[in-house]
């Protein structure tokens, strides 16, 4: 059984952190409705949903992906790069402890889960504004015993590594080559985003389907042409906070 941990949208969502996009008015009720639709599509693809209550004082806390990443053997609790987001991990520790032994990234290192792309035993970590070189070192030490290799990936012009590249299946990645070099991912089939849709590289494979924003029809067509079953959700209001589909859940 696949479990998806999600968290309801904070009433202070419009006070979110922003790095690469301009602030535009956010309607929290619309964001909540879209999040609800997202959670429903996770359930429709077979996930058992564990929805945590909203954390009013943590505007970005709907983006649970940044607080942890989950491996078959262990879950890693991150230390998010933005100070406003560091307290988000507390409730996630409680939520994840029934499922995995936990290990922790500690001060002074920071890493956002959105920068962590797990491809088998290779774990790529985006060298973004949120994730530090010392986090790479800590992660390597924490995960050595399980046979993982941590690989730092240079990236540019976007918030997280997974804004630039995500896993579609075991052999296939969806990528914006302007934001991360394809040479990191030799041996994978790379589906490029349509040039008109630079933010389209973030998809969430779950069960037999791919959860994907409605906003990127041209790239969606590229996924469908390769035989992937794409299930679209409107996450435009969440995207105003620089979020996308991977960031709103932790998949176990
Ligand atoms: C932030 O800047 O941290 C949030 N406003 C957006 C985080 C999105 N997270 C993700 O893509 N993993």
**Tens digit of pLDDT for each residue in 208-237?**
999 999 999 999 999 999 999 999 999 999
Which contiguous run of DSSP H or E holds residue 125?
strand 122-126
Atom of ligand 1 nearest to the CA of 130: 3
Domain ranges in the chain? 2-251
CA of 200: how far to CAs of 46, 110, 114, 129, in Å?
24, 26, 15, 20
Query: pTM here?
Result: 0.97
**What is the band of 49 on the pLDDT scale with cuts at 50, 70, 90?**
very high
Active site residue 160: yes
**What is the band of 37 on the pLDDT scale with cuts at 50, 70, 90?**
very high
Which contiguous run of DSSP H or E holds residue 174?
strand 172-175
pLDDT at residue number 42: 98
Is the C-beta atom of 241 inside 6 A of ligand 1?
yes
pLDDT at residue number 12: 98
Separation of CA 247 and ligand 1 centre (Å): 7
Separation of CA 94 and ligand 1 centre (Å): 21
State the fold for domain 2-251.
3.75.10
pLDDT at residue number 21: 95
Mutation choice for ligand 1 from 12, 159, 244, CB with most ligand atoms inside 8 A: 159
Active site residue 158: no
Separation of CA 130 and ligand 1 centre (Å): 10
Q: Residue 175's CB: how many other CB atoms inside 10 A? A: 23
Share of the chain above pLDDT 90, in %: 100
Residues 6+ apart with CB under 8 A from 153: 117, 124, 125, 126, 127, 161, 180, 181, 184
The arithmetic mean of pLDDT across residues 88-112, rounded, is 98
* Measured distance CA(248)–CA(34) in Å, rounded: 11
Share of the chain above pLDDT 70, in %: 100
Is the C-beta atom of 82 inside 6 A of ligand 1?
yes
């Amino acid at each position: 059984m696949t479990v998806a941990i999600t968290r309801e949208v904070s009433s202070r969502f419009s006070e979110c952190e922003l790095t690469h996009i301009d602030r535009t008015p956010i309607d929290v009720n619309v964001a909540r409705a879209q999040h609800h639709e997202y959670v429903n599509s996770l359930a429709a693809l077979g996930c058992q949903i564990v929805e945590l209550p909203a954390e009013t004082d943590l505007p970005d806390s709907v983006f649970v992906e940044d607080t942890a990443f989950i491996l078959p053997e262990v879950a890693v609790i991150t230390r998010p790069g933005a100070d406003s987001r560091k307290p988000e991990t507390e409730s996630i520790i409680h939520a994840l402890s029934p499922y995995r032994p936990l290990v922790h990234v500690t001060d002074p290192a920071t890493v956002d889960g959105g920068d962590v792309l797990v491809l088998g035993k290779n774990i790529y970590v985006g060298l973004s504004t949120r994730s530090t070189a010392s986090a790479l070192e800590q992660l390597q030490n924490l995960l050595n015993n399980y046979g993982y290799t941590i690989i730092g990936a240079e990236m540019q012009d976007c918030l997280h590594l997974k804004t630039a590249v995500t896993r579609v299946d075991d052999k296939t990645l969806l990528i914006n080559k302007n934001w991360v070099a394809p040479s990191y991912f030799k041996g994978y089939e790379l589906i490029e985003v349509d040039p008109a849709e630079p933010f389209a590289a973030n998809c969430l494979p779950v069960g037999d389907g791919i959860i994907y924003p409605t906003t990127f029809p041209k790239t969606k067509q590229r996924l469908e042409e390769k035989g992937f079953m794409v299930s679209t959700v409107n996450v435009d209001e969440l995207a105003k906070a620089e979020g996308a589909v991977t960031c709103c859940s932790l998949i176990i």
